A and B are shown apart, each in its own frame.
Chain A
């Protein structure tokens, strides 16, 4: 049972008064010495049971009446079903609280999230002063943990696990309970928007029919969330049809600028231990004024391989090197400035680079982390279809110019059969495969290649004299379904351009060829193509196809075509590597193109810093080689005291040799906050022989969430019309105007009380508790 004024429930003890008075009266009966006892006793014997029953009814009725009065004073909440029977309704306050990291905008020492919590407290206090009130509090970040379909299916218990309060009854103590709960509420580092929360709210509201619903959306109303509110409007329209009030409460004080690091990524260059790597550092100015002299601190953290001796945070601190401060002289408002930063790691391993901006209004987006996987060497597989291997020389000479020159790329030349005989798992050690003048491929080889590329491998294909066009089109192109992005017609002679100054190659802005754009380097102008494979006239990539021409011949025929295949990339060149059809391999630009091509083909494998905050990390381990224990060391202020969680890898398929350990996402965490914080997550696994291995993930916030630009209020209101909303800021917010809706219930309770009192008087009269005028009174 729920009561608004809990303290008054002690009054229920007063319900014992009638019993007490009855017992006292039994000892205080007026005594009469009576002569005609036989008649009295005869009457008593005849009516004893009925008299006893009436007395019991009277007693119970008096107890009930007192109890009912106490319940009414304490404002008993009879519950939704009882109220419905009596025609009454509860008032249910649904509060959606924005806890994305943009709510961390500081102003006057408080964040917008702090101010939002105060608004929530104000709403609860107002509700506690009325009767028959219920309270649901749902945070944006939590709403994303439950899909709408699950919300429809799931029980209230599951929804309660997500909401901070789910239909909680509001009594006089509720504001205190809310305040205690708010102490544990922290702003997240997610970019959760209002849409999912509103959609989940719509589902929740549909489950709670026959209530007066007041909806409060407490947020900072950023442009990126509200600029195109079509879906939000649709959801709000559905809610407004069944709700009394919709409040949009703005808890941000305007006029705060913010800088954010939007990217810290390696340039698409080859990455190898001992080879310097350039990083792109990008900073965006979300303010309305230009900023100057922005200093970004950078660090590189070297993690040597095989040095972890225990699953402890101290084992993965790494060697920190402070890099030179990067200075952005001027960043105009709304623009992104980019700087190149060089990092160097002498040995292979998963190393870390991080960047930190000075403090501004939003702190969360001032940091950025990247994990760079530096292999010992970048292994590539060269499959030369010619018997004298005349094509591989040109690739090999680019990757390994000499024994003293280290590009980090280690070529491995193998015959065509190697692809057939080598399983995909073995191929995975190669970052890219180069097929040169391969006439045909075995079915197993094609299958292995497709799996290899789908898993993220890079594939480059070069034409040659031996190419079987029909085989190529039927088995490798397969009407756009195959590995290769293009359909060939057959070899063709490239007629030189009429103007000798016209280069044979027409450069397109693409990472492989952009080096040569705008005449920065005229080298590629000297490339001459004599012969090429002409694409089929009917070749036309589908609209949803990723196939595109990345370089053309001067006759507009493709020189190079690429496409995405699964997680990998395929680049197809219509001419040879060897000088049979061209002089490209002898041109200096060839080295640049091949290196850029390799970086481009392998770029998707390199980036380990694309994990967003809140992502679910799935660590796959070989069942035969590793133990089940997986130690996750989450980001922390002090390197040696970072929070640790140990999880167990499990296998869901008894036939599978792989077991998985899942951490973060919606999975609850026992000792840490999961993956809700940006930073480096170190993973320590243990082999069956007792040795430890470490790997790491970089989780970053969505930098766009740092855009402090807010939607204009008038624009917001007009975009949501005709939905009746009340938009107010923190100071103007007055709360719900809905009066006490519980009056109907009070009416019925009053009626019951009245009937009870009449019944009590009637029974008392029947039992002669009343003294008629002139009658013999005790």
Chain B
């Protein structure tokens, strides 16, 4: 059994589970907004009973069970869900940087795991693709609850490696995920920005709903280093001996230009974009993002 606790932190899940009603609704609403109903479907294949909770549609109450047991249950059918979500997680070398509790990769995997969990909780389908310079592992889209383990297992890479080639990966996804769905890209996007955007554009052209969670470490965003240091590239053989303070202004200028370019091109291609710091609590970051998204949709 994969160690699900690595990326599906009980604390995170607990926090997500304990989200107040509004937050939970945000998540559910987010997810429900992607398709007509999480409870209705054309498929008539009975899946399972679920205990009635306030708010469930009374048309789905199994009155026979109520008659027999005097307890309210609703029927759930295995539907042909409209939400087919694919987590595309960057596992390249650059994702191993991190100066806090979680590095970028761990954070990204946590996002992917948490969202996958939530999707499966909603009885939607989710799959996972991990990549660096090419697709490393592909977990098909499924809606069974125990599918989370497969996803977690695919994310359980010992150490990230190799470089990033997002365009190639996205183009592959475009070709191999024919049905429309949601593509959630979780990456630091450090690479060929134009190639990345080109890939995202391809996905949009195929009708996918694309979300980009741009994961970056605080160090990368603030560059608050001091003292003489040697920086060794994670995905290249470049290195630099320098005093970071003296280069900070130029670094920030280049970084902000990169971020602006990414935001702008994402907006141009109607790709949802969220910059997430690894220092931010996951639930808070997701809640904030989802809230913004919901307000934009409505």
Asked if B250 and A768 sit within 8 Å, CB to CB, the answer is: no
Q: What residues on B are CB-neighbors of A766 within 8 Å? A: 245-246
In the complex where A46-B250, A767-B245 touch, is A30 in contact with B255 (Cβ < 8 A)? Answer: no
Which residues on the A side are within 8 Å of B241 (C-beta)?
Answer: 26, 29
Checking B96, B230, B242 against A44 with a beta-carbon cut-off of 8 angstroms, the contacting residue is: B242
Contacts of B228 in A (CB 8 A): 25-26, 29-30, 768-769, 778
Q: Is A149 an interface residue (CB 8 A)?
A: no
Answer whether residue B29 sits at the interface, using C-beta atoms and an 8 A cutoff. Answer: no
Q: Given that A44-B240, A768-B225, A778-B225 are known contacts, is A29 also in contact with B254, CB under 8 Å in the complex?
A: no
Decide yes or no whether B55 CB sits under 8 A from chain A. no
Q: Known: A25-B228, A33-B232. Contact between A776 and B219, CB under 8 A?
A: yes
Q: Tell me if A776 and B247 are in contact (CB < 8 A).
A: no
Is the Cβ of B224 less than 8 Å from the Cβ of A775? yes
Asked if B251 and A37 sit within 8 Å, CB to CB, the answer is no
Contact residues, A759-778 vs B (CB, 8 A): 765-772, 775-778
State A43–B238 Cα separation when bound (angstroms): 14
Provide the bound-state CA to CA distance between A29 and B227, in Å: 8
Most chain B beta carbons < 10 A, residue from A47, A768, A772: A768
A776 to B229, CA, bound (A): 11
Quick one: which of B93, B230, B232, B234 has the most chain A CB within 10 A? B230
Contact residues in A for B226 (Cβ distance below 8 Å): 768-772, 775-778
Minimum Cβ distance to chain B for residue A36 (Å): 5
Contact (Cβ within 8 A) A32 B245 = no
Question: Is B66 at the interface (CB under 8 A from chain A)?
Answer: no
Known interface pairs A30-B229, A44-B240, A777-B227; A35-B250 also in contact (CB < 8 Å)? no
B227 touches A35 (CB 8 A): no
Let me know if B76 is at the binding interface, CB within 8 A. Answer: no
Contacts of B251 in A (CB 8 A): 36, 39-40, 42-43
CB distance from B174 to the nearest CB of A (A): 26
Residues of A near B188 (CB, < 8 A) are: 35
* Inter-subunit contact B220/A771 (CB<8 Å): no
Most buried by B among A26, A33, A35: A35
B243→A32 contact, CB < 8 A? no
Q: State A34–B244 Cα separation when bound (angstroms).
A: 12
Contact A767 B255 (CB under 8 A): no
Does B94 make an interface contact (CB < 8 A)? yes
**Which among B94, B226, B249, B254 has the greatest number of chain A C-beta atoms within 10 A?**
B226
A768 to B229 Cα, complex, angstroms = 10
A37–B225 touching, CB < 8 Å: no
B190 within 8 Å of A (CB atoms) = yes
Check B246–A778 contact: CB distance below 8 A: no
> Does B253 interact with chain A (Cβ within 8 Å)?
yes
Once the chains bind, are A33 and B250 in contact (CB under 8 Å)? Answer: no
Question: Residue B246 contacts which of A25, A41, A54, A771 (CB distance < 8 angstroms)?
Answer: A54
Q: Find out whether the CB atom of B235 lies under 8 angstroms from the CB atom of A35.
A: yes
- Give CA–CA (A771, B229) in the complex, Å: 13
Contacts of B245 in A (CB 8 A): 765-768
Q: Of A25, A29, A31, A55, which is in contact with the most chain B CB atoms at under 10 Å from its CB?
A: A29
> Are B255 and A39 in contact, CB atoms less than 8 angstroms apart?
yes
B69 within 8 A of A: no
Chain A residues near B248 (CB-CB < 8 A):
43
Q: Point out the residues of chain A lying under 8 angstroms from B234, CB to CB.
A: 33-35, 37
Range, interface on chain A: 35 or more
Known: A26-B241, A43-B247. A33 touches B258 (CB 8 A): no
| Cβ-defined contact, A29 with B253, below 8 A | no
**CA distance in complex: A767, B242 (Å):** 9
- Does chain B have a CB within 8 A of A206? no
Partner of B229, one of A29, A35, A44, A54: A29
Main secondary structure of the interface of B (DSSP, over half): mixed
Expressed in whole angstroms, the minimum distance between the Cβ of B12 and any Cβ of chain A is 24
Give the CA-CA distance A766 to B248 in the complex, in Å: 11
- A766-B93 Cα distance, complex, nearest whole Å: 32
Residue of A nearest to B229 (CB): A30
CB of A58, distance to nearest CB on chain B (Å): 10
What A residues does B99 contact at CB under 8 A? Answer: 776
Q: Is B195 an interface residue (CB 8 A)?
A: no
Task: Indicate if B207 sits at the interface (CB-CB under 8 A).
Answer: no
B243 touches A44 (CB 8 A): no
Determine whether the beta carbon of A34 is less than 8 Å from that of B233. yes
For the complex, is A20 an interface residue (Cβ under 8 Å from B)? no
Q: Once the chains are docked, how many angstroms separate the CA of A778 from the CA of B188?
A: 24
Q: Does B268 contact A (CB under 8 A)?
A: no
In the complex formed, the residue of B with least CB distance to A26 is: B241
Complex contacts, A425 vs chain B, CB 8 Å: none
Instruction: Point out the residues of chain B lying under 8 angstroms from A32, CB to CB.
Output: 225, 229-232
A51 at the interface (CB under 8 A from B): yes
Cross-chain contact of B231 among A37, A55, A765 (Cβ < 8 A): A37
How many angstroms from the CA of A725 to the CA of B224 in the assembled complex?
72
Q: When the two chains form their complex, are residues A37 and B227 in contact, meaning their CB atoms are under 8 A apart?
A: no
B190 touches which one: A35, A55, A770, A775 (CB < 8 A)?
A35
Contact of A47 among B93, B229, B238, B250 (CB under 8 A): B250
Cross-chain contact B229 with A41 (CB below 8 angstroms)? no
How far does the alpha carbon of A767 sit from the alpha carbon of B244 in the complex, in Å?
8
A40 touches B227 (CB 8 A): no
Name the A residues within 8 Å of B104 (CB-CB).
35
A43 with B94: CB separation less than 8 A: no
Provide the bound-state CA to CA distance between A768 and B251, in Å: 15
| Contact of A40 (CB < 8 Å), options: B96, B224, B231, B249 | B231
Which chain B residues border A55 with CB–CB below 8 Å? 243
Q: How far is the CA of A51 from the CA of B225 in the complex (A)?
A: 16
In contact, B246 and A42 (Cβ under 8 angstroms): no
Q: How far apart sit A771 and B226, CA to CA, in the bound complex (Å)? A: 6
Chain A residue numbers with a CB within 8 Å of B224 are 775-776
- CB contacts under 8 Å to B, within A1-59, are 25-26, 29-44, 46-47, 51, 54-55
Q: Which of B93, B248, B251, B255 has the most CB of A within 10 A?
A: B251
Q: Give B164's nearest chain A residue, CB to CB.
A: A35
Complex: chain A residue closest to B93, CB-CB: A35
B42 contacts A by Cβ under 8 Å: no
Please give the distance in Å from A597's CB to the nearest CB on chain B.
Answer: 108
Contact B230 A30 (CB under 8 A): yes
Chain A residues contacting B255 (CB-CB under 8 Å) are: 36, 39
A768-B241 Cα distance, complex, nearest whole Å = 13
Bound together, the chains give a CA A767 to CA B245 distance in angstroms of 6
Interface string of A47-82 (1 = CB under 8 A from B): 100010011000000000000000000000000000
B94 to chain A: which residues have CB within 8 Å? 35-36
In the bound complex, residues from chain B placing their C-beta under 8 Å from that of A26 are 228, 241
- A interface residues, Cβ below 8 angstroms from B: 25-26, 29-44, 46-47, 51, 54-55, 765-772, 775-778
9 contacts between A and B (CB under 8 A): A30-B227, A37-B236, A39-B251, A42-B250, A768-B228, A776-B99, A777-B227, A778-B228, A778-B229
For the complex of A and B, list the 7 residue pairs with the smallest distance between their C-beta atoms, beginning with the closest.
A768-B245, A43-B250, A35-B94, A778-B227, A37-B233, A39-B254, A29-B230
